[in-house]
Amino acid sequence: MDRKTLVNHIRQRRSCLCVGLDTDPSKIPAGLDVLTFNKAIIDATRDYCVAYKPNLAFYEVLGSKGWDILAKTVDYIGKEHFTIADAKRGDIGNTSGYYATTFFDTYGFDSVTVAPYMGKDSVEPFLQHDGKWAIVLALTSNAGAFDFETLTAEGKPVYAHVLEKCSQWGTPNNTMYVVGATRAELLAEIRKVVPNHFLLVPGVGAQGGSLEDVMRHGMNDDIGLLINASRSILYASSGPDFAEAAAAEARSMQQAMAQFIS
């Protein structure tokens, strides 16, 4: 999906919500399988979001059948939503190339999250597919973000080096960055470095970030945000009304976003 189409979806639905499909078999209602649950969540939230983000760990742990469930989930999402393989891949060039092929061609995702530690040749293979995106980890929402990402290196934090260098390798049309909502106070700073890029923002909801703060500090002229919620939507209810509860939670987030999207 190209940037223009994504921005159109955001404006039409007045939403920049991304629903994270971190589907945990131990948390879904008894008797349901992962694919059936995913389909119900997708049907319930489709009108309120612009993106879906399956978290690969939750599918890989199921063995090869998890990958079949993943493929069927992506297929069920269809073409009207931006799809993110939250896989955090990154390796030497030829290997990253295989990961890009896997997620873009074999599974048809629009984007993959990419770990930047190994540098340029580990990121570039994700930038060479038309209409596809690398979403590079910059400043994440977890406690460990303060171990290496925020080290001061040559006058600025490591994550700022990541933003600057990756922005030389790619463009705002094929590169996004992960910036955690739990660091909303830094969003304004980050916007100075990457004013035009989309940011994928996890950490709203279960992890405690404020949606309003993220909208206020993170938006650009094209909105420029995909705000992810996973557990707060998927497990809004553990009962048979889980899909209605997920819809209500997604609608509530969409309505909060709509106040900022004219």
Runs of H (alpha helix) within 101-237: 120-123, 158-169, 184-193, 211-218, 231-234
Distance CA 181, CA 216 (A): 12
In the list 36, 47, 76, 92, the residue contacting a copy of itself (rule: CB under 8 A) is 92
Per-residue contact flags (x/-) with a copy of itself for residues 3 to 42, judged by CB under 8 A: -------------------x--------------------
50 binds a copy of itself (CB under 8 A): no
Name the one range near a copy of itself by CB under 8 A: 26-34, 101-109, 215-223, 243-251. 101-109
257's enclosing H/E stretch is helix 242-258
* Catalytic residue check, 88: yes
Task: Give the chain's length.
Answer: 262
Tokens of 172: 């705002």
CA 46 to chain centre: 16
In the list 142, 171, 238, 255, the residue contacting a copy of itself (rule: CB under 8 A) is 142
182 binds a copy of itself (CB under 8 A): no
Which 8-state DSSP code applies to residue 33? -
Name the one range near a copy of itself by CB under 8 A: 31-39, 40-48, 97-105, 219-227. 97-105
In the list 30, 130, 147, 221, the residue contacting a copy of itself (rule: CB under 8 A) is 147
Q: Smaller CB distance to a copy of itself: residue 154 or 185?
A: 154
CB of 120 to a copy of itself, least distance (A): 4
Q: Do the beta carbons of residue 114 and residue 84 sit within 8 Å?
A: no
Task: Name the nearest CA neighbour of 59 among 83, 86, 79, 88.
Answer: 86
Distance CA 200, CA 6 (A): 13
CA angle 259, 237, 110 (to 5 degrees): 60
Query: Which residue reads 């939403």 in tokens?
Result: 15
In the list 30, 130, 144, 239, the residue contacting a copy of itself (rule: CB under 8 A) is 144
Q: Smaller CB distance to a copy of itself: residue 47 or 60?
A: 60
151 binds a copy of itself (CB under 8 A): yes
Q: Do the beta carbons of residue 101 and residue 125 sit within 8 Å?
A: no
Residues with catalytic function: 88
Q: Which residues bind a copy of itself (CB under 8 A)?
A: 22, 55, 57-58, 60-61, 63-68, 71, 86, 88-93, 95-96, 98-99, 101-102, 106, 115-123, 137, 140-149, 151-154, 158, 161-162, 165
